[in-house]
Every structure is written in structure tokens, then in C-alpha cells.
Structure 1
Amino acid sequence: MSNTTVGLVFLERVLYTTLTTVPCCIFLFINGTMLYTLRSKPVFRETCRYILLYNLLFADTVQLTLSQLLYILSIGRIFLTYPVCGVLFMLGNLTNPVSPLILVVMSLERCVAVCYPLRHASIITTRNTAVAVIVVWAICLLNVVIQILLLLEFPFEELETLQMNTFCNTVVMFLTPLYYDYDRVYTYFLLISAGLTIISTYIVVIIAARSASTDKASALKARNTLLMHLLQLGFSISSTIHNPLLFAVSKLVVLRVLLRIQNVFYVSIIILPRCLSALIYGLRDQTIRPVLMYNLCCRMKLSGITVKRKVSP
């Protein structure tokens, strides 16, 4: 390989790393600040929709962190062992379905607020919300357990070594056809169920908004919120179809082309959808916005003061 080719390959890696790592770090900072904001005041810790939002952001942040870690490992040509890659892969599979399920719970909460305003406080309690969150995480954990059982069918003892000869990614971990079929069925079932549920709650809210006994302003706000949930579900769908889409593309192109396509998929399908929840809620919610902006600006001011102190003689 000539020096020119080596230089182009190195330049390509630096470019890809910069274009993904910089926005990822920025959005991780925003997500982290948002998570801190949601735990900073009792009104956020004790309000049901903010509890749900915290879990949504937490799952997205973990997913984004894992994705960036695996991306950096692949760019650095660091090969893991199958067990380590499997642990990271399963942790991603644990948090990935949380987003659509939490969005379903949030949509049901808004539907109850419009259709049963007098009973909303007794139905949507902190305890019931905690139970719903536990059920969501339990469903995702059950999915991971099933995936682990399916992976155990692969004859690892026939491998000469557990050291992987390529970087850890989704395609590599689809070790058996049965595992891939299960992942595809589970993904489609989850997203279709979540989509139908959110659309149904949206229709119910529209019907309730036409009722004379319903608070028009509250119904309109709930309708806009459900539309936002549909948008977020679309983002979750784009993130969730990353695995099947990448697997399908891997059958059509060589590994080098696949790596470039994966970079495009990573930015457009993984990074952006996982970062927009914090921005949407943080800028839209009148209660969160001032606290979030204060935390962001305060951190920036403190960073600026620290830099000035270091620079000054």
C-alpha cells in the first residue's frame, strides 16, 4: 500500500471520527444536563410525566454512549472478544426498546388527562408510574434473556479462539438465523404495537376535544403532545431498524463499503434520533426550559471562568 493510500485512509478515518464524535459529545452534554435537571427539583422527581421523560432520556443516553463507544473501537481497529462484544450488544438491546414503550406510556397518560381529567390524579400516581416503568424495563430485560438463550445455541466451542477478527457490530452478533428471525419479529411487533397505540390515543383525544364537556385548551395541548410522541416514535423506528437494515446491506456490499455506509447510518439513524428528545422537551416544556437553560448557561459560564483563570498569569 502506497504512502498516498495510507494517508487517504487515515484522513478518511479522522474525518469520520470528527463528524460523529463532535456532535455526539455535544448531544451527550445536553442529555446529561437534561437528566441532571430532571433530578434537581422535587417538582420533576414527583411529577409522573417527568419521571417517564427521565427514563426515556436515560435509555437514549445509554444507547448513544454505547453506540459511540463501539464506533470509536471500530475506527481504532480494536477487536474485542465475543463475550465482551456480547455484553455491550445486549446492553444496547436492553435500552433500545425502552424508548417506544415509554412513549406508549406517556401517550396513555396524556389520554387519561384529557378523557378523565377528574380521575387523572388518582389514576396517574407516582406509584402507578413507577410500576409502569418497572414493567417496561422488565419486558426489555426478558427480551435480552431470550436473545442470550438463542445465542447459546451457537457452537462457540468450535471456534479456535474467542477473539474476534473484526470489530464488534450488529452484523457479527447475528450468529444464528433463528436469532436474526427473532430480532426481526420482535422489532416489528414492538414498533407496530407502539404505533397503533399512540395513533389510537391521538384519535381518542381528537374525539374528546370535540366534546362540549372537555377543556379545549387542555385537549389541544394533549393533541400536540401526542403528535410529538408520534414524531419521536418515528425517530425510535429509524433507530430500531438500524440492525435489520445494516444486516440486509451487509449481504450486498463488501466490508469496506459497508463501513462507509455504516458511518452514514450511524449519524442519521442513531445519533440524531437519540438526541432530539432532550431538545424537543427541553425547549417546549415551560417548566423545564428555564431550569435547563440556566443549567446549560451556568455550566458554560463556569467553564469560561475556569479557562480565563488558567490563562491569566
Structure 2
Amino acid sequence: MSNATPSQTNITVGLQYRGLLEIVLFSAPITLPCCLFLFINGIMLFTLRSKSVFREISRYIFLYNLLFADTVQMALSQLMYILAACRLRLTYAVCGVLVMLAELTNEVSPLTLVLMSLERYVAVCYPLRHATIITIRNTAVAIIVVWAFSSLNVLIQVLLLLEFPFEELESLQMKDYCSDIAMFLSPMSDHYDKALTCFVFLSAGVAVTLSYIGVVIAARSASTDKASARKARNTLLLHLVQLGLSLSSTIHDPLLIAMSKFLDRVAIVRIHSILYVCIILLPRCLSALIYGIRDQTIRPILMYHLCCRLKLPRLGSQPT
């Protein structure tokens, strides 16, 4: 028989209600927009597979790969955010799988931007050879290489993680919430992750910048299609912005670690929510919105699917 008094019971229920209310108030304003962005990205992915024109042109295949990686990254990030908001602690094995999948897709995005930039460079600077260089087969090989390179780095991170003496722990249950910081259990893992991030983004930045410079130089040539060169230049600028936004996500963890030294846990949680939206979610959802609105071929079909396939004017003339 319980010895709890009615007042103690009311206090316990009140604390539980307060905890639940706090979880809802913190997670709902972030979860709902994320679900909307995931829905838009999903529609965009479906759109890019709905017409043969999107399956037979390399730049749309690269775009599909970029959107797929960003969508998976967004879904995994949101899942880990909800788990942390609900104060659920996972085992090291489960958290490790989530973090490594997030790391994999996080590396695929900037490397895919490099492929998209090189494709635009070849289209403007070598228009006569574009069809022979940028083939469907070469596109598939390039994408496979990107995923293989990213998977190799994830494998190395797993091997570094296995060096940690898990057998000495009392339990494999994590003492903190699942995150990439919590999974870097050894200094070597942390150093490798930082070195890899610097290498990937520095290489990607150089490749996109050189492609942009090459297109600008080619645009001044009398033999170059000015309209095509201008569109390619704007596209490469967009890739640079996207790369910068993706790079901004790498400052998320260092900022939180630095601020945790002089702020309390409640303030850190609130700042984490703001940073999560600004530098984790937004960069992952901008690609679908920008390309969906900017591309004249994608826009009407995307709007058709977003409007639940309601009949819109001149949709019947879209390519198949």
C-alpha cells in the first residue's frame, strides 16, 4: 500500500505534466517545420523520378542524390533531436548506427555539390564534348565513388570507435543523449573527424570556386553561349552558398561545447534549439525549395504534386 499523501501525488503529477509540457513546447515548433520540409523534399524526390527527362539528364540525377542525402540527414537529425527532447538515452550501439549514418550523408552532400559544379563547368567550357563526358554511366560511377569514399571514412571512424574499452563500462546504456559528440569517445576519433571535415569542405570549396572562375572566363569568349554561361555562373554561385551553409553545420558542436562552460543546462538547451534550426535544418531544406522554384522544368511538375495533383493550366504539355 502506498504511503504517498495526496499533496505529494499532486506534486509528482504536476512535475510530470510540467516535463511533458516543456517537451511539447520545445520540440513542436521545430518538429512541425521539419516535417513540412521532409514532406517537400519527399515530393521533390518523387518529382525527380516521375518523368524520364529527370532520369536521363545528369544534373537532375546529381540533384536527386543531393536531395536524398540531405533528406536522410534531416530525418536522422530530427530523430536524435526528438530523442534528446524526450530525454531518452540509447545504447552505444544504437546511437552509433544513427551517428554514422548521419556522418555518411553529411559527407555525401558537399561531394555531390562538387560533381554538380563540374558538370556545369563541362557544359559551358566544353559544350561539344559534354554529351560524351557527362554520360549516364559516368554519372552513376561518380555517384558510386562519392558514396564509397564516404562509406570508407565512416568505416574508419567505426574502427577508431572500437578501440574504446566498452567492456570496462558498467552498462552499454549511454549516460548522455545521443549525438556525434557523445560518440567521439577517444581523442583520435575527434581529431580524425575534424581533419576529415576540413579536407572535404576545403577540397569542395576549391573545386567549386575553380569551376566558377572557369565559367566566368569562358563567358567572355565570343564562342560561348552568353545565356548558358550566365545560368551556369548563377548555378555555381548557388552551389557555393549551399556549400557554405553545409559548412556552417560544422560549427554547431564547437559552439555548444564552448557555451556549455559558462551557461546552465536550460540555456544550452534553448540555444541548441535555435542553432539546430538555423544551421542544421535550414541548409538541408533549401535545396528543394531553390531548385524547385528556379528550374523551369521542375517547377510546374513539383507544384502539380504539391497541389495533390490538381489540374493546373498547361500541365499536359510537360515532357514525359
TM, length-normalised to structure 2: 0.89
Q: CA 1:213–1:55 in structure 2 vs 1: closer, same or farther (change >3 Å)?
A: same
Match of 1:28 in 2: 38
In the alignment, is residue 101 of structure 1 matched against residue 111 of structure 2?
Answer: yes
Secondary structure in 1 matching 2:307: helix
Alignment length (residue pairs)? 301
1:135-150 paired onto structure 2 within 5 Å: 135-150=145-160
1:18 maps to which of 2, 8, 28: 28
Q: Distance in 1 between matches of 2:200 and 2:255?
A: 16
Secondary structure in 1 matching 2:308: helix
> How far off is 1:251 after superposition?
4.8
In the alignment, is residue 280 of structure 1 matched against residue 298 of structure 2?
Answer: no
In the alignment, is residue 81 of structure 1 matched against residue 130 of structure 2?
Answer: no
Q: Distance in 1 between matches of 2:112 and 2:259?
A: 30
> How far off is 1:247 after superposition?
4.0
Cα deviations across residues 33-90 of structure 1 (Å, max 9, x unaligned)? 0000001111111110010000000000000000111111111111110000001110
1:259 maps to which of 230, 252, 269: 269
In the alignment, is residue 202 of structure 1 matched against residue 240 of structure 2?
Answer: no
- The structure that has the greater radius of gyration is 2
Q: Distance in 1 between matches of 2:298 and 2:84?
A: 37
Q: Distance in 2 between matches of 1:252 and 1:173?
A: 23
Q: More deviation in 27-36 or 13-22? A: 13-22
2:247 maps to which of 237, 248, 255: 237
Q: Distance in 2 between matches of 1:239 and 1:145?
A: 22
Cα deviations across residues 241-272 of structure 1 (Å, max 9, x unaligned)? 33444444445545443322221211111111
> How far off is 1:6 after superposition?
6.6
1:127 maps to which of 137, 160, 163: 137
Is the CA contact (8 Å cut-off) linking 1:171 and 1:250 kept in structure 2? Answer: no
Match of 1:270 in 2: 280
* Alignment gaps of 5+ in structure 2: 1-7, 312-320
In the alignment, is residue 218 of structure 1 matched against residue 225 of structure 2?
Answer: no
Is the CA contact (8 Å cut-off) linking 2:125 and 2:215 kept in structure 1? Answer: yes
Q: CA 1:251–1:91 in structure 2 vs 1: closer, same or farther (change >3 Å)?
A: farther
Q: Distance in 2 between matches of 1:64 and 1:88?
A: 12
> How far off is 1:8 after superposition?
5.7
Q: Distance in 2 between matches of 1:95 and 1:161?
A: 30
**CA RMSD of superposed structures (Å):** 1.9
Is the CA contact (8 Å cut-off) linking 2:304 and 2:310 kept in structure 1? Answer: no
* Alignment gaps of 5+ in structure 1: 302-313
Is the CA contact (8 Å cut-off) linking 1:79 and 1:167 kept in structure 2? Answer: yes
> How far off is 1:299 after superposition?
5.6
Secondary structure in 2 matching 1:298: coil
In the alignment, is residue 37 of structure 1 matched against residue 51 of structure 2?
Answer: no
TM, length-normalised to structure 1: 0.91
Q: Distance in 2 between matches of 1:105 and 1:193?
A: 12
Q: Distance in 1 between matches of 2:53 and 2:250?
A: 32
Match of 2:175 in 1: 165
**Same amino acid, percent of matched pairs:** 66
